[in-house]
Structures are given as structure tokens and as C-alpha cells.
Amino acid sequence: MAKGKAGQSWLKGVRVCSIHPLSQECDSEKMPLFGKSQKSPAEVVKALKEAVNALERGDKKIEKAQDDVSKNLVLIKNMLYGTSDSEPQTDIIVAQLAQELYNSNLLLLLIQNLNRIDFEGKKDVAQVFNNILRRQIGTRSPTVEYICTKPEILFTLMNGYEHQEIALNCGTMLRECARYEALAKIMLHSDDFFNFFRYVEVSTFDIASDAFSTFKELLTRHKMLCAEFLELNYDKVFSHYQRLLNSENYVTRRQSLKLLGELLLDRHNFTVMTRYISNPDNLKLMMNMLKEKSRNIQFEAFHVFKVFESRQACGFPH
Amino acid sequence: MEKVTYNTNSDDYQICSLFAQSLTEVAVVYIARHIPSNTLVAYKKYDLDKMSAEDAELVQDEVILMRQLNHSAILPLLSSFVADHKVVCILPLMGYGSAADVMLRHFPTGLPEAAIATIMKAVLQALVYLHAKGIIHRAVRGSHTLISAEGNVVLSGLRYACPVISAGKWQRKMHSYPASIMAPNVNWLSPELLKQNLEGYDERSDIYSVGITACELANGIAPYQGVSKTLMLIEKVQGILRPLMDSSTYIPRVPIEGENGADMCQDDDDYSSIIANRTFSNAFHNVTELCLETQDHLRPVAKDLLTHAFFKNAAPPAALPRLLYPAMPILQDNLPDNQEDLESMMVCEKLYSLAIDPVSWDF
């Protein structure tokens, strides 16, 4: 028993130390647990911000700035996720870190300069972002609230699909954002959303597929929000969608047809579905797709086609 | 050297020759010439129309994952694009093919120990990188270790990998067991992964597969070949090892009376005598035993394993071509001549796309 107690108070000591890492007394030699250079969140964030600024200015010492950015990103990532030998930091440290990130506006700065950060650093940015995004205090998600006040973050991320070298990193962050209704709403209702119709068709397969997963997530994750969006923007969305269904690219055609089936068969989208099937051109398109040589396209087209037929059987006006 | 960019225009690649077919026959690998730079590349073609939606997703995940990895011992993805209903991945040409190919063609009794050391070292370096990035490979095997004409070894097969980071957390133990993913690699997998119990598995599972791969390459036989899956699982769980076969582990076969004489064919005797006359080093025996430790928490991680004496003396990659002789890599001037196969394959594809259409309506 006594041993356990001692162990506990020892742990407490560590926590106290890590909150006040500046106080000289409990430095590394006494508490070897956190390694030799335990910086406080404020220090790391400050150092990272300076390095990113230097990178943005594009001074002569660009390589040093890049190194500094990578190093500090790893520090932050290890605080949040831990490493194979150490656990993640305590909630208090993480809270401090998050607060520093909000106050310094660093998330936006990192995303804006993502293409200047080195290969591994880009992935670290995404991992730090995704972890901070999931932070919860009770039922509140403070990072989501923060991003709502800074929608530029989302727009910059969506724009990331324009640049090959950061597209996939932005994709992982965007899908994480799309999990939150408030953020999905901002993205759906922005003009940039319609760029996705272009992104899903780019010639590079990996980027196109990644963009499609994000696109699908935005259109299916929050049923009520999506139904409302589709009803409100029916003409614009489906005229763009038509282009995907007629795409030269087999993968785009197959994926968009499958998604169309899912959207029409979702009962939340009832109004959209009735509107879609009341247009004879859509029926023609599906019947032509049934003739496609590809069995998978035929199969997916059949799923959409059956919606037309079952409605007709119910005596729905055509 | 100038950096070549491999674009996504399928007209820029001219298919020269058939290279290999993947295990599950969903992909065919060709050797192609990248016309703008006049270099040879591997041209891997997945026929998505023959794949289910889930399998197609696996291909997507693999391509996206490969794009986000950058390590000298991991097969890089140069480019990927869609051509007709096929997804094409442009990869660097690995002249020797996989270690398993080299073994099957030229070393039916197993690769030389020195070559295995070099190969395993590269695989472990790749695993150190992957594990640090929070990825478990789950498909380390001879056919996923590719060797370039210069002797560089790279790990491929990332289709089966899984990320440890999910839900914004670093998961200490994984439990996922997608049957379709595991099926082709089941004989290489670790006992804790196969057990599928609450304890789960972690990145050390890959180390076990490295051990199995070492035995595969040294013995010249795919692991647990001809053994039922149940027996394989029981042996792994109980820690009954199928060791490296050499003079120290060789048990002369006593002819049992009444046994069918035809079983004891000449090949079998040859193989036995080679085994009886070779001796692997103690370090090699020791390293495979460490890898094949049944209890995962006692198994070393990739980083620690690399400090083992066996890898300290491993030959540099440049020495690999000499060790693999008489196997010869594919280079510009000795492309395998299989034009007939290639043509028949192309004709098949054409026929498929010509399929006569029974329905006809026109609006």
C-alpha cells in the first residue's frame, strides 16, 4: 500500500513539474522521464511560429528554418500522441498547447505555408491538426468553435487540392473537419465546394480518389444538413454532377454513379430524389449507362434505375 | 542527375514486356519505357472492373499511402493514373523482381545467408520508418521484398498495411482483422494477430513476419506449405518452430518400412544432402529465433533488432548482385522476350472491350 502511495505522489510531482517546466528545481536531472529538453507548450509554439515566419519570408537561411519547423512539429506531435516509449502529455499540458495554438493563430499559418514545409513535416502538421481538432471539454469541442471563427482555415485546406504536393495532407485534415456538422456546413455552403467537381477528376489517381472521399464525406455525413444543401442548390449541384456521370475517367464515373445511388436511396433526400426522377433526361442517362460494357457501371446504374421504376410502380407522376 | 517527372499521360509509356503477375491476379506488371526520359519503369495495371468495390478501395488506400511515404527501403510510387477501366501505377523497375522470385528461379534450396542478411536489414530499416510513422505493414514476405538491379532492397505490399493512429489517438494495440486482407498472407502472420483475441497486436507482429520470411528465403520453401491452416495456427501459438534447415537442425530421415518408395524421389534426396552439408551462422539462427518469439512482448522491436551482430556484418546493397549470381537483373538490353505472351494478353483485353452488346436503345 505504502509503496503505491509513494508512487502516486511521485507521479504528482512529475505533473507539477511539467506544468512549471521553467522552475529550475525540477529540471531534467531530477525527472528524467521527459528527456533532457522539455520545453513548455508556449515555448514550442513560439519557436515554431518564428520558424514558419522565417520560412514564409524566404530568407537565405531557408534550410535552417525548415529544420526548425520540422523539429518543433515533432515536439508538438509527441506531446499529443506520445512516442513508442512515452505516453502522451497530461491533459493540462495539451490544454495549454491548444490555447497557445489558438492565440498565436498558428494553425492557419501552418496550413498556409504547408507547401514550404518538408515531406515528413507536412504529415506532422496533419496529425497535430487532427488531434487538436478532436479535443473535447465535456460536450464542447473548443477547436471546432475556434475554426468556426476562422473559416479561412477551411478554405485554405480546400484550396490545397490545387497543389499536388500538399493535396493528400489537406485531404486528411478536411475529412477530419467534415466530421463536425458546423464545419461541414461552412464548407458545403462556400463557393469553393464546387471546385470539388474538378478535383475528383484530376489526372493523378491518388489525388482524385482522395478528393472523392472528402467530397463523399461532405455530401453524406450529416444527413439533414446535406439534404437541405441539395434541395437549396439542386440545379447547380446536379448540373455539375451530370458532368461527373459523363466523365471520360472510368473511376470518376463509377464512383459518382455509386454515390448518386446512395444519395437518392437515402430517405432524408426524398425531395431531391423525386425531383431527380421526374426529369426524363435522367432516366435516359441511366438507361444508357445500363448498356455500358463495364459490369460495375451497369450494376451501379441499375441501383439508380430501380428508383425510377419503383416510383413509377407506385403511380408517381413521371 | 536530373530528376525525371513521370506524368499521368498513358501515351508516354510504351509497354515493352510482361514482368510479373500479382498473387491474386488483380494486377499485372509490365516493363514499360517512359518515352520522354527513355527510362524503363514498372507499369502495374489493376483492372478495376474485375474488382469488387472493397478491393478497389484497397488499391486506392495503397496508392494514397505509398504517396505519403518516403524512405529508401520502401517502394516509391512515381505516378498513378486511370486509363480506360484500369488504374496504372508507375513504379521504379526492380530488376531482380522479388526475393521470392529469385529464390524460386535460381535458388531452390534457399538464398545464401549473406544475401538474406542484406535483404533483412533493408526490410527492418523500412519497418523502423513505418513503425515510427504509426503504420503496421502486416504483409512482410519474400514476394514483397523487391531487389533492384543495383542491389537495393525495397519493401512493397502496402495494400495490407494499417495505420495505428485512429480517432486522433495512437492506438497501443490493434484488433482489426479484415479477412480479405489477411487471407493471402496468413502463413506469414504472427500468432497474436491470428489469435484475434482481446489482447490485440502491435507493430511487433511485423517482426514475426520478418522471421518467417528469413526462414522462407533460407529454406527455399514458402512457410507452412502444404500444412493445414489449423495446424499452422496451433504450431505458432504453441511456439513450435519450423527452423532454418541446416546441418544443426537436420534430422536424417529414417526410411519407415512399408512407406511408398516413390515418395523418396531423387529431388528429395538432393535437398536433404544440401541441408545436411550447410551450416548457417549462430547469429542467423539467433536472429530468427528472436523474431519468431511467440510472446509478442518479448520480441525485439525493429530498431533494437538492427543492432544485432547478424546485421552488423551484413554486406552493403552493392554486393547483392554478386551474391545473387547466377540470377541476372532485367536491364535495358536484356528484356525478357515474351512477346507472344504479351500479345495474347493484349488480344484478350481487346476482346473483352469488344464484347458484343445485346441491348440496344438509342435516344
B261 falls within a domain:
no
| pLDDT given at position B27 | 83
Alpha carbons A42 and A48: distance in angstroms, whole number: 10
CB-CB neighbors (< 8 A) of B71 in chain A? none
Q: How far A131 CA sits from the closest chain B CA (Å)?
A: 5
Residue A7 has pLDDT above 50, yes or no: no
* Among B330, B327, B334, CA closest to B119: B327
Contact B264/A at CB under 8 A = no
Q: Which residues, other chains included, contact B204 with Cβ-Cβ below 8 Å and sequence gap of 6+? A: B190, B296, B297, B299, B301
pLDDT at residue A6, rounded to an integer? 39
Do B46 and B77 fall within a single domain? yes
Instruction: Note whether B80 contacts A206, CB cutoff 8 Å.
Output: yes
Confidence at A21, pLDDT banded by 50, 70, 90? very low
With respect to residue B185, please indicate whether it lies within any of the assigned structural domains.
yes
In a domain, B252, yes or no: no
pLDDT greater than 70 at residue A194: yes
Residues B233 and B287 in one domain: yes
The count of structural domains within chain B is: 2
Residue B138 lies in a domain: yes
* B46 is a domain residue: yes
Q: In this structure, are B316 and B341 located in the same domain?
A: no
Residue A259 has pLDDT above 90, yes or no: yes
pLDDT category at A318 given cuts 50, 70, 90 is very low
Interface test with A, best of B3, B10, B68, B130 (most A CBs within 10 A): B68
Cis-peptide into B336, omega within 30 deg = no
* Structural domain span for residue B337: 10-93+330-350
Encode pLDDT of B276-331 as tens digits: 888 899 999 999 999 999 998 899 999 999 999 999 888 999 999 999 888 888 77
B130 and B232 assigned to the same domain: yes
User: What would the pLDDT profile of A71-95 be if each residue is shown by its tens digit?
Assistant: 999 999 988 888 767 777 888 888 9
Same domain assignment for residues B237 and B102? yes
Mutate to test the interface with A, among B64, B71, B206 (most CBs of A within 10 A): B64
Any idea which residue has 498513378 for its cell? B80
Give the other-Cβ count within 10 Å of B103's Cβ.
26
In the chain, the amino acid numbered A94 is V
The model's pLDDT over A118-176, given as tens digits with 9 standing for 90+, comes to 999 999 999 999 999 998 888 899 999 999 999 999 999 999 999 999 999 999 999 99
Res B239: pLDDT: 86
Say yes or no: B201 and B240 in one domain.
yes
Select from B111, B304, B287, B133 the least CA-distant residue to B210. B287
For residues B287 and B306, membership in a common domain is answered with yes
Which residue out of A206, A255, A257, A291 would a mutagenesis test of the B interface target, given it has the greatest number of B Cβ atoms within 10 Å?
A: A206
Low-confidence ranges of chain B (pLDDT < 50): 1-2, 258-259, 261-264
| Predicted local confidence at residue A315, as pLDDT | 55
Q: What gap in Å lies between CA A106 and CA B342, rounded to an integer? A: 55
Provide the 10 A C-beta neighbour count for residue A235: 9
Classify residue B255: in a domain, yes or no: no
Q: In this prediction, does ipTM exceed 0.90?
A: no
Nearest-CB residue to B80 (from A81, A127, A205):
A205
Please say if the pLDDT value at position A14 is more than 50: no
Q: Are residues B53 and B164 in the same domain?
A: no
Partner B, chain A 159-218, Cβ-Cβ below 8 Å: 168-169, 176, 203-206, 208-210
A·B CB contacts under 8 A: 86
The CATH number covering residue B240 comes to 1.10.510.10
CB atoms A210 and B170 under 8 Å: no
Please report the pLDDT score of residue B262 as a whole number.
47
Task: Give the CATH number of the domain where residue B335 resides.
Answer: 3.30.200.20
| pLDDT > 70? residue A12 | no
* End-to-end CA, chain B: 56
pLDDT at A65 over 90: no
B102 and B84 in one domain?
A: no
Answer yes or no: are the C-beta atoms of A161 and A172 closer than 8 Å: no
Mean pLDDT of chain A: 84
A281-315 per-position pLDDT tens digit: 999 999 988 888 888 888 889 989 988 887 766 65
Nearest to B16 by CA among B250, B348, B339: B339
Q: Is residue B135 part of a domain?
A: yes
Q: Do both B218 and B293 map to the same domain?
A: yes
Q: Does one domain contain both B190 and B64?
A: no
Are B208 and B295 part of one and the same domain?
Answer: yes
pLDDT score at B357: 55
B359 assigned to some structural domain: no
